[in-house]
Structure 1
Amino acid sequence: MADALTLTGIRKTFDGFVALDDAHFTLRWGEVHALLGENGAGKSSLMNIAAGLYAPEAGSLHVDDNPVRFSGPRDAAAYRIGMVHQHFKLVPTFTVAENILLGMPRNDVRSHRQRLASLTDAIRTQASALGFAIEPERRVDTLSIAEQQRVEILKVLLAGGRIVILDEPTAVLTDAEAARLLDAMKALARQGAAVALVTHKIADVRRHADRVTIMRAGRTVSTLDPRTTSESELVGAALGEALPPTAREPGSPGRVRFAMRGVSTASRAGAPPMLKGLDLAVRAGEIYGLAGVGGNGQSELVAAIMGIQPIASGTIELDDARDIQTMRAEARRALGIATIPADRYRLALAGALSIADNFGVAHLHEGRYGGLFRIDRRRLAADAQTAVTTFDVRGVRNVQQKAALLSGGNAQKLVIAREFGRAPRFVVAHSPSRGLDVRAAAQVHARLRAARDAGAAVLLISEDLDEILSIADRIGVISRGAIVAEFDAPGDRHAIGQAMIATHDDARAESPVFSESKVSHVA
């Protein structure tokens, strides 16, 4: 039987940086094949070539054992290749249905209105099969990161993708959502499709993949059977070394440093208010982990803390009685608030600017690099270089290169380097290890612990329950814009998971269990 997709001897450079060098990958029909490696190993770059986003400088690409050349994603789509990108390709001002319609084949003679109506029904059917709560009429800019991820997955499946590439698909999904999605992808493969899974989650690889290809520094290292390879062996193969075990070290909580009391947000066009009388208290010297199904107010919570989202009622307090709700974002930062947003490219970095500029922008108002019209570029470059080295930001030839050239994980390290450039008093981190390999995730967690141990209050918001359980001192569950349950660490995984599901949207909780017949395509 012909192989679904074969990439051989692939080479790709970006502005002189070698991203791929003699890389290989073979995907068979009927299998889920994982790609594993460190941040910057070349996994996403290789799959972007398979999806027609990049053109290789050397090497060959075969579909069904036939040589092909893609001039863009539309060529790849003609071969029914679809990719769910780690950083989403959605139009914010369009609805869910309109975004999905953009990716559909254009040989339908029906009117736009008729196609949209038919697609709306198909979206609901497919979303129900996957256990996703998605309203086709919602505008994308009113959706959380996790909800946008679901839209991207639906877009590929409904376009009839038979070679499906998933780049970190479970990074912002809960345990139950991730298991349901990957079970669905395995069932899709068993029906004759082929699924490539780019991930850093070893558990997902071992549980759902038929084979795993390891990449390091742009090269293919090996292809293994994950069912007969231990977790430590996979980590060692991906990193080139085994990671030492980390012991759980509890914090020493002091007085309440940050509090939100009765906070409700103002409603936005087309969406109800997401925070509804929320009460939250985080103490100095503790990491408060906030778990929940995506789309329950997590993004609005971060936006309210940083002064981006206005609140309709309630107070936001830092260090006892200081109410910061009327302060501008820069004034809040000046008080020692650091933030790591979930969407690093939209909210934390300007890809067209240099690494140095992205690092220094948070410190310009302090006068550290002079005024806005006379910046001390030499000092800025020196500080940025020190941060890049200290925080192990890889793929950097010099700090004047564009931030957009960094891999997702290394872009996140740059954000963290900037936010921890001075000792913060309060840290809000939303999915900080999203898309990071195990080494980089461990480094992020170590930074959060170090901030806590230095006396900072840390609010960790994550859909990844493993991340919450590994470092949080207290755990809360958010649902429908309010904290509905709290647990002391280490916490009971089952009880926390039950609280997340039981308090969520009734329709979501009652989603039907996936069956093979429910994976559908709209051609």
Structure 2
Amino acid sequence: MSTPAPAPAAPPAGEAPLAVRLRGIGKRFPGVIANDDVNIDVRRGTIHAIVGENGAGKSTLVKILYGVQAPDSGTIEISGELVSLGSPADAIKQGVGMVFQHFMLADNLTVLENVVLGAEKLHGIGGAARAEIKRISDAYGLGIEPDHLVEDLGVGARQRVEILKVLYRGARVIILDEPTAVLVPQEVDELFHNLRGLKAEGLAVIFISHKLDEVLSVADEITVIRRGTTVRTVDPVGVTARQLAELMVGSELPSPSTEASTVTDKVLLHIAHLSLPSPEGRPLLDDISFDIHKGEVLGIAGVEGNGQAELVESIMGMRKGATGDVVLHGRDLSTTSTRGRREGGIGYIPADRHRHGLLLDAPLWENRVLGHQTREPSASRGLIDKRAARADTQRIIDEYDVRTPGVDTLARALSGGNQQKLIVGREMAGAPILLVAAHPTRGVDVGAQGAIWAHIKKARREGLAVLLISADLDELIGLSDRIEVILRGRLVGSFDPSDVTPQQLGSAMTGAGDDTTSRETA
């Protein structure tokens, strides 16, 4: 191990004691330096944000602190004690817990069953466990009932269950990875209220996020990481989102705002009476109808789990049992396969790039071919044209600023933002007339976000029709020409992005408001 970097000067008297001290943290992978001389102090009773580009080293750093990966160099101190973390179990024993961006809960179990799973030795699985869950929920204002089924909980409540899980295991340091990615504004406010309650009890919260305005509103300190190295730790009182973005990526914070309307009278996608039954009873989609015109971006807003995924997959032909009409550019695709729909002119950016967008252990040029294996330049005379596919992959890398050593790099080796840019470039390369974009900038940094927005705007100007699904309400409002709200599988309201607020959309998405404009089902 290399010699740790010297510690900074002692903090002024009266400051809270340190919960976590990282010195000289380094981590290398083949061909990649993920972390290099990272130095961070996190104090008790504070919310400490860590921001940086995709690929800057944030994920690697928190995995090291949570014991998922071992550092190649440097030291970790927790509550003043030098520790070695070989696994998450080691981290939990040291009082470090982590709430992941994708919740790790079993829907068919109760809150109590989810919380005690794997921690049965602490308080058993009965009355004592239930009492401890109630005590923690009441102490921190989480509002969680131990006997509720997780499948009946909203997204915000599920996140509070995840927080309760780590508190139940005795965490005094809580790492939150992109905690607001799937929350509506009201739920974000509730989360921040809960986080402030945690810090008031002396806990330390490490907050990872790309949403700089949220970071500035909730953090006590912000550490910026660039290219694996800590750049600076700043006081949010003395910095703006624009300045943070410049520290992160060397450029100004991008804006999703669109230019003048490019919507035409020509309908490119016509959806009529689209429904999807469910064996559980209430249909997953219930009589959905809308049109998207050439040059138009139609945004769909909804709390996750209300039918967005089913809508996208039904349009793409991925859901058996879907009924209704899917007409693209005058051609009925209702009974056409997914491949036929893509060949008919639909580009598709999936919500989960790892499950539906990439082969992580395949090189980039093979990932370029995915979904385009019957079309030029990926194929010629029915066979894959490797040379042409490699050349076009290099074009995408250059045009979309995909940061990678080359076309033979495995997709797994790219950061999330660069994986996403490769997918966007691949889907645009097919010259689609309709782009179905599900959460196109989820989990990407401000630089990649701005690049993806720019490509969508450019395609819109050139006449592309876009169906945009996003949990980022600012993105929906900024990019869309029209917004529809989906709730329990039905479209329940239409909004004009020019005069709607995130709060109004949030109310409509949760069924809590009457701000929706009534709509007639076609």
Regarding TM over 0.5, the answer is yes
> Is the aligned partner of 1:398 residue 2:406?
yes
Q: What does residue 6 of structure 2 align with?
A: none
> Is the aligned partner of 1:219 residue 2:233?
no
The 1-side partners of 2:395 and 2:38 are apart by 32
Q: What does residue 100 of structure 1 align with?
A: 114
Summarize deviations over 1:28-66 as a string: whole Å, max 9, x none.
110001111111111111111111111110111111111
The letter of the residue matching 1:107 is K
Local SS of the residue matching 1:242: coil
| Aligned counterpart in structure 2 of residue 233 of structure 1, from 239, 243, 246 | 243
Summarize deviations over 1:361-385 as a string: whole Å, max 9, x none.
1221226444899644333222222
The 1-side partners of 2:113 and 2:75 are apart by 32
The 2-side partners of 1:42 and 1:232 are apart by 21
The 2-side partners of 1:10 and 1:286 are apart by 48
The 2-side partners of 1:132 and 1:284 are apart by 47
Local SS of the residue matching 1:273: strand
Local SS of the residue matching 2:191: helix
The letter of the residue matching 1:45 is T
Matches within 5 A, 1:81-96: 81-86=96-101, 88=102, 90=104, 95=109
| Aligned counterpart in structure 2 of residue 59 of structure 1, from 74, 84, 106 | 74
| Aligned counterpart in structure 2 of residue 175 of structure 1, from 162, 168, 185 | 185
Q: What does residue 295 of structure 2 align with?
A: 285
Deviation at 1:98, TM superposition (A): 9.1
The letter of the residue matching 1:315 is D
Summarize deviations over 1:181-232 as a string: whole Å, max 9, x none.
1221121111111111111111111110000001111000000001221222
Matches within 5 A, 1:314-325: 314-320=324-330, 322-325=331-334
For the Cα contact (< 8 Å) 1:279–1:482, is it kept in 2?
no
Q: How many residues align?
A: 496
User: Normalized against structure 1, the TM-score is what?
Assistant: 0.85
| Aligned counterpart in structure 1 of residue 208 of structure 2, from 187, 198, 202 | 198
The letter of the residue matching 1:382 is A
Q: What does residue 49 of structure 1 align with?
A: 64
Q: What does residue 448 of structure 1 align with?
A: 456
Deviation at 1:243, TM superposition (A): 4.6
The 2-side partners of 1:408 and 1:148 are apart by 24
Q: What does residue 42 of structure 2 align with?
A: 27
For the Cα contact (< 8 Å) 2:137–2:164, is it kept in 1?
no
Q: What does residue 362 of structure 2 align with?
A: 353
> Against the structure 1 CA distance between its residues 138 and 34, is the aligned structure 2 distance closer, same or farther, given a 3 Å change threshold?
closer
Q: What does residue 515 of structure 1 align with?
A: none
The 2-side partners of 1:226 and 1:312 are apart by 49
> Is the aligned partner of 1:264 residue 2:275?
yes
Deviation at 1:78, TM superposition (A): 1.3
Q: What does residue 242 of structure 1 align with?
A: 252
> Is the aligned partner of 1:163 residue 2:173?
yes
Q: Which range is displaced more, 21-30 or 402-411?
A: 402-411
Summarize deviations over 1:467-496 as a string: whole Å, max 9, x none.
111111111111111111112231321443
> Is the aligned partner of 1:366 residue 2:366?
no
Deviation at 1:160, TM superposition (A): 4.0
Q: What does residue 512 of structure 1 align with?
A: none
| Aligned counterpart in structure 2 of residue 327 of structure 1, from 314, 332, 336 | 336
> Is the aligned partner of 1:420 residue 2:431?
no
- The sequence identity of aligned pairs, in percent, is 37
Deviation at 1:90, TM superposition (A): 3.7
The 1-side partners of 2:212 and 2:493 are apart by 29
The letter of the residue matching 1:258 is L
Q: Which range is displaced more, 285-294 or 356-365?
A: 356-365
Local SS of the residue matching 2:318: coil
For the Cα contact (< 8 Å) 1:264–1:274, is it kept in 2?
yes
The 1-side partners of 2:75 and 2:45 are apart by 22
Deviation at 1:95, TM superposition (A): 4.7
| Aligned counterpart in structure 2 of residue 464 of structure 1, from 472, 478, 492 | 472
Q: Which range is displaced more, 248-257 or 166-175?
A: 248-257
Unmatched 5+ stretches in structure 2: 1-15, 515-522
Q: What does residue 520 of structure 2 align with?
A: none
Q: CA RMSD in A?
A: 3.4
The 2-side partners of 1:145 and 1:323 are apart by 36
Q: What does residue 347 of structure 2 align with?
A: 338
> Is the aligned partner of 1:189 residue 2:213?
no
The 1-side partners of 2:135 and 2:491 are apart by 30
Local SS of the residue matching 2:236: coil
Deviation at 1:144, TM superposition (A): 10
Q: Which range is displaced more, 220-229 or 244-253?
A: 244-253
User: Normalized against structure 2, the TM-score is what?
Assistant: 0.85
The 1-side partners of 2:435 and 2:175 are apart by 34
> Against the structure 1 CA distance between its residues 37 and 446, is the aligned structure 2 distance closer, same or farther, given a 3 Å change threshold?
same
The 2-side partners of 1:121 and 1:30 are apart by 22
The 1-side partners of 2:372 and 2:106 are apart by 29
> Against the structure 1 CA distance between its residues 8 and 106, is the aligned structure 2 distance closer, same or farther, given a 3 Å change threshold?
farther
Task: Indicate the structure (1 or 2) with the bigger Cα radius of gyration.
Answer: 2
The 2-side partners of 1:256 and 1:90 are apart by 41
> Against the structure 1 CA distance between its residues 468 and 373, is the aligned structure 2 distance closer, same or farther, given a 3 Å change threshold?
closer
Deviation at 1:19, TM superposition (A): 0.9
Local SS of the residue matching 1:365: coil
> Against the structure 1 CA distance between its residues 244 and 354, is the aligned structure 2 distance closer, same or farther, given a 3 Å change threshold?
closer
